[in-house]
Amino acid sequence: MTNALSLLQQRHSVPARQLGEPAPDDATLHALLEAAIRVPDHGKLVPFRLILLRDEAKLAFGERVTAIGMRNNPAMTGAKLEKERHRYTFAPLVVAVVARIDADSKVPEIEQKLCTGNVAYNILLGAFALGYGAQWLTGWAAYDREVAALLGLAANEHVVGFIHLGTPQVEVPDRDRPGLDDLLSTWTP
């Protein structure tokens, strides 16, 4: 079995709450992100971009997202409010993966989104290969236009996911996976 196949068979997410320092250093992060953007890209549109959230900026982002959430949902109190307030504080680095949809392109929107999703997955896979932990999260903030404005997104852009990166602080067991036999069929005419 090749190392690449073994890597695919072992990759799993590490919950953001269980990620701590260190995050990849700048050189490692640059190499990881350069590799992550090597995705199938019909029409060479590059329908994605990345936004890093770290240190104090990450904390400020979380506070502003919480404020937006409270305005949009005044009933958000207690544990839900605290969850929102701390969502971006656990992992030392968060990468917002952003889809940039070109509505005038011959390339269908779904293919542009899938291309962006591949970037997000490559970050997860690359982080695991490098010995880091990562989790792809969305939540309401990924779909909120006020949060999009906070990130400086254009009207044709939206968050596909927030990738939380860091070093696992505990051993995380793999979850149960579906069996291939339950998912695979062969089409015949």
Give dist(CA 25, CA 5) in Å, integer: 26
For residue 89, say whether it is annotated as part of any ligand binding site: no
For residue 187, say whether it is annotated as part of any ligand binding site: no
For residue 140, say whether it is annotated as part of any ligand binding site: no
Query: What are the backbone dihedrals phi and psi of residue 81, each rounded to the nearest 5 degrees, phi first?
Result: -65, -45
For residue 12, say whether it is annotated as part of any ligand binding site: yes
For residue 130, say whether it is annotated as part of any ligand binding site: no
**Dihedral sign, CA of 55, 60, 65, 67?**
positive
For residue 13, say whether it is annotated as part of any ligand binding site: yes
For residue 71, say whether it is annotated as part of any ligand binding site: no
For residue 11, say whether it is annotated as part of any ligand binding site: yes
- Annotated binding-site positions: 11-13, 38, 42, 136-138
- Annotated binding-site positions for FMN: 11-13, 38, 42, 136-138
